[in-house]
Structure 1
Amino acid sequence: MSPSRRKANGSRCSCTRGEIDGISGGESFDRTCTHCNGSDSIKPDPASSWFLSSLSETKLDDSEKLRRIIVASLKGFSVGTGIKGGLALFSIVVRFARRRSSSKSRRTGDFSNSEAISMGIKETLRYGLFLGTFAGTFVSVDEAICSLVGHQRQTAKWRALFAGLVAGPSMLLTGPNTTHTSLAVYILMRAAVLASRCGIKSKRFGSICKPLTWEHGDLFLMCLSSSQILSAYILKQESLPSSYKSFLNKHGGKDLSILQGIKDLASAKPFTNLRAIEKHYKSVGVDIKLDPNMRIPCSMIHGGESCTKHGLTFFLQAYMRALPVYVPVYLIPALIVHRQDLLKKQYSILGKGLFGTARSSLFLSTYCTSAWVWTCLLFRTLDTCNIPLVAIATFPTGLALAIEKKSRRIEISLYCLARAIESFFTSMTEAGYIRPPKILRRADVVVFSVSTAIIMHCYAQEREVFRSKYLNVLDWVFGVPPPPPPPLPSEET
């Protein structure tokens, strides 16, 4: 027992005989004991986000509140710069590698290496300020409510919700004219998942949310997302974010002239670029003559090859394209997270990284290959090509997600669902079916703020609905809330 747990006369404090869980060094603690309640040795950690809601009679002084705000801001800044800086560094390294391997001179309108580095640094700092401000604002609002309103137990159920809502507009620090629709929709999907998990465990909404427990719901979401994303890839690429469009163009493995030809055929429009398609195939050693009266696009998709042979050759090429994508995804985190065990378990760690790389590459290559296989199969079976058939043919492509391990499926499906929703509403808006409200200029900020409010509320009240890897990050930034103490005697009566 620490000296502070003894009274002035040297006798043991009577509260140590109780069965109350300890909060400091495993010792017991009783707020009804004047000695314990006044001891400096058992003050809770001020880095904890919601200890005020747990210990309603313990108050922080101003210096501790300020320290908590500064610590959360710095940690948020480090997370933002770490994530965005890592992505920017990888992009710059890839850029240098391409420049060295290419004998072509700099293209008009392309960025120089120094400009790319400068842009990467600016983006890194912006995202650091964004997440740092978000964390600092959240903690500041949380502390302000506790100081102004008091009765921390009564405000605990809505304080994190309100603080998350107020902190959401920090997204504007990434650039006042830069919209982040994809990020906002993705965070909204994450919030919806957390809310559904809370609903499943709720007695009131458990029966309503029961369908959400479907074991293969992630595959169904992926199929829905694939139908929209791949249809947009073929028919309306401008509805996709530029970075995602580049990713699809690379792994889709088809020249833009081929995609335009399929679009013309599906839209029942006259062909505008058959000669460009023939020229493309001639550049790769295939001499073909396309029929302007064709009913199905197979000859455009795979030239002189059969559908079966094209599927096999395309799969091998797609796998080689996918490997460079997943090598850094698996090996770099393994080197960082397990750096201390590399000398002891290097074969196990590297083996898991290589297996994960091979597995995810198999998923991506199968996904891309099946998109063209299902398209050819359906078009040949029905001997026609139109827009509804494109959407139907790309739906089962999402089944390729079953190759991935279970823990990654929901992450990938939610990411693709966010992209699909953005593409769908962009297409509907451009077609005139949806008119965005003139008053709401930054809908992405509103959606992001509402989503972060839900997420932070779940973090404060329903921690068990989070996966451990996300919970660890939030705990590191905001602090680990201690378990709720037993009710006060006044509350029991």
Structure 2
Amino acid sequence: MPTPAPPVPASYYENFLEILAQIVSKLLTDKETEAVVASLRSFQDRLKRLSSQSFSRLRLELSIAEKDHAPFCHHAGKTCIQNSLRGFIKAFSVAFTVKYLIGILPALLTGKLLKRPRILKQMAGRDTMCFALFLSTFLSSYKAILCAMRRWRKNPDPSSDKLNAFVAGSVAGIALILDRDKRRRQSIMLYLLTRSFQFSGAWLMKQWGLQRQTRRRKELAILKEKVDREGQPRELEVGKKWDDYLAKFIQRWAGVLVMMLANGQIIYSFLLNSETLPRSYFTFLLTHAGWKSDVGGLAEPLADVIGNNIRFLSETRGSIRLPKDTTSYQYIADHVSPNIASVIPAKLRHKYIMCALQHPLEDSCSRSAFRSFKLEYLRALKLYVPLNLIMMGVFRSGQLTSNPNLVLRKFAISCLRSGLFLTMYVTMGLGSACTFRRIFEKERHWMYVLVGVVGGSMTLFEARGRQLELGLYCLPRAMEAFWKTMEKQGRIRNVRHGEIWLFMASMGVLMTLYQNEKDTISPHYLSVMTRFFGHN
């Protein structure tokens, strides 16, 4: 039974009309004020007569709305059907608009739109429609299934909503099949799978912290009882255990550890299985390794030759040194590739075969590292300065006018620091390969995993807040490359629509945390999810 609305006291109308009359009286003359007051009194009498009927009708409407609105749902002011339908329309409109604008933006910036105006129609075609349909169907079905689960289970315990959210998120994830672009489906799945790992890790750290806190309370209580029995006043303090130090270490270095793990796979794939990396990312690595600037169009063939020779030297287990009586040019031309040899200066004598391929313009590993640092820092600044300019314009435009010195100083520090990270990533990554050759005097596949680990550790030069984000940016590419490498080696097989199953699992986890453990989601992503999913 709905609780009846309390009767409205007569003083409500009198106080309201009195305040309104006081405000209006300051704008009118005495005669006008008297006329207004008379009309307001007449209006007051009419409100009193109608109030009883109005509130009876209002109570009836509220009663009907409450019957339709599940008591366990949190979408105030809307029924479950209205909430789902509104979510569909809103998500479809936003997704279609954003996808459409992203599609025409390159043509607009390059001027192609003026020459080919039909691009406007093409970008509103099937691909954009399918993408918008996927997002809107996912959002609306999630809301509908969540409400249905709550109505069906009728469990008022807040913890029971975890199962509701997991089922709703998982089942709604089937909507990904509506997006016809398989590559995009995989990218979406990998991104959200990575975020589900991140926020699940934060939840596990939270639970671990609560367990340690409970243990400390128990130890403190035991210590207090012991002190009370002895009757000797002293300061009560429980020392930290090994797991407290481990938790602190993980919290501080999680970003660097993730980056090291991801880049161990990425660099291994870059040198030995380049086809397992996205084409754009492979090109990015070729550029920043310096091979495009050193050998031009031979950069990609050089990467293939390096991979083939690592495999050959690893399998034959022969000498990795160049003969002392021959130049690098002669050896590479006779035994490896005449095309690659054409870029090596004639008089250079590298110590190792792979060094002649890795840094063909310098026979000294240390000089090559110094040259790589100098050139890569300039390339890194060309990457980060425009990027940080855009970020400053979008997120700090207000501060730029109020406190320009602070904003510009942060901008300069951010560019220099990020440039240093990328430069050290390249320099230490490539340089460590030369170091491992000297230490082990052999070529093995696992050495290039270590090369990636060393390069990834250079994330410590970045700001703490960016370290984990960089690691999570690289992790999806590492997971994709690892899966393709295992598939290439015949150790696993692809599962039909595997990206959809993984997307369903990821969304089940993410929506469970969103509905029940919001403090484990970083503020930025929580804000985005709240705008997208709302309160359910």
Q: TM-score range by the shorter chain?
A: 0.7 to 0.9
Matches within 5 A, 1:291-330: 295-305=352-362, 306-330=364-388
Q: Distance in 2 between matches of 1:115 and 1:474?
A: 35
Amino acid at match of 1:276: N
Partner residue of 1:186 out of 179, 188, 191: 191
What pairs with 1:3-18 in structure 2 (closer than 5 Å)?
7-10=7-10
Q: What is the 5 A alignment of 1:354-369?
A: 354-369=412-427
Residues 342 and 313 of structure 1: CA distance in aligned 2, closer, same or farther (over 3 Å): same
Asked if 1:175 is matched to 2:180, the reply is yes
Matched residue, 1:276: 339
Q: Matched residue of 1:202: which SS?
A: helix
Matches within 5 A, 1:433-472: 433-436=491-494, 440-472=495-527
Structure of higher CA gyration radius:
2
Unaligned runs of 5+ in 1: 13-34, 100-111, 482-493
Partner of 2:232: none
Does the 8 A contact of 1:227 with 1:391 survive in 2?
yes
1:400 aligns with 2:437: no
| Structure 2 Cα separation of the partners of residues 248 and 182 of structure 1 | 19
Task: Return the match for 1:429 from 487, 503, 510.
Answer: 487
How many Å apart are 1:125 and its aligned residue? 5.2
- Calculate the aligned-residue CA RMSD, in Å: 4.1
1:181·1:422 contact (CA, 8 Å) conserved in 2?
Answer: no
Q: 2:262 is matched with which residue?
A: 225
Paired letter, 1:447: L
Amino acid corresponding to residue 168 of structure 1 in structure 2: G
Which ranges of structure 2 fall in alignment gaps of 5 or more residues? Answer: 13-54, 213-241, 292-298, 317-331
Deviation string 1:53-99 (CA, Å, 9 cap, x unpaired) is 376xx9866xx4444334433554466467756765676689x49x9
Answer yes or no: is the 8 Å Cα contact 2:70–2:147 preserved in 1.
Answer: no
> In structure 1, what is the Cα distance between the partners aligned to 2:205 and 2:419?
34
CA distance in 1, matches of 2:287, 2:123: 22
Q: How many residues align?
A: 422
> Does 2:72 correspond to 1:53?
yes
- Map of 1:265 onto structure 2: 309
Counterpart code for 2:445: I
SS in 2 for 1:288: coil
Q: What code does the residue aligned with 2:204 have?
A: G
Q: Structure 1 54/145 Cα, relative in aligned 2: closer, same or farther at 3 Å? A: closer
Equivalent-residue separation in structure 2 for 1:275 and 1:6 (angstroms): 94
Q: Map 1:127-166; keep pairs closer than 5 Å.
A: 127-151=131-155, 153=157, 156-166=161-171
Deviation, structure 1 residue 402: 0.7
Mapped partners of 2:307, 2:208: distance in 1: 50
**Residue 381 (structure 1) aligns with:** 439
- Go from structure 1 to structure 2 and tell me whether the alpha carbon gap of 1:119 and 1:349 turns closer, same or farther (over 3 Å shift): farther
TM-score computed with the length of structure 1 as normaliser:
0.72
Q: Give how far 1:259 is off.
A: 1.8
Higher relative helix content = 2
Structure 2 CA distance, aligned partners of 1:51 and 1:351? 53
Deviation readout 1:411-453 (Å, 9 max, x if unpaired): 22123222212211211111111133xxx41111111110111
TM-score (norm 2): 0.67
Query: Residues 333, 304 of structure 1: CA spacing in aligned structure 2 closer, same or farther, 3 A cutoff?
Result: closer
**CA–CA distance in structure 2, aligned partners of residues 366 and 117 of structure 1:** 43
C-alpha displacement at 1:182, in angstroms?
4.4
User: What is the rounded CA distance, in whole Å, between the counterparts of 1:191 and 1:415 in structure 2?
Assistant: 14
- Are residues 131 and 369 of structure 1, via their aligned partners in 2, closer, same or farther at CA, if it must alter by over 3 Å? farther
Instruction: Sort the Cα spacing of 1:319 and 1:59 in 2 relative to 1 into closer, same or farther, 3 A.
Output: closer
Report Cα offsets for 1:299-358 as digits up to 9, x if no partner: 222224222222122223222323343345433233233444443234434443443233
Moved more, 68-77 or 313-322: 68-77
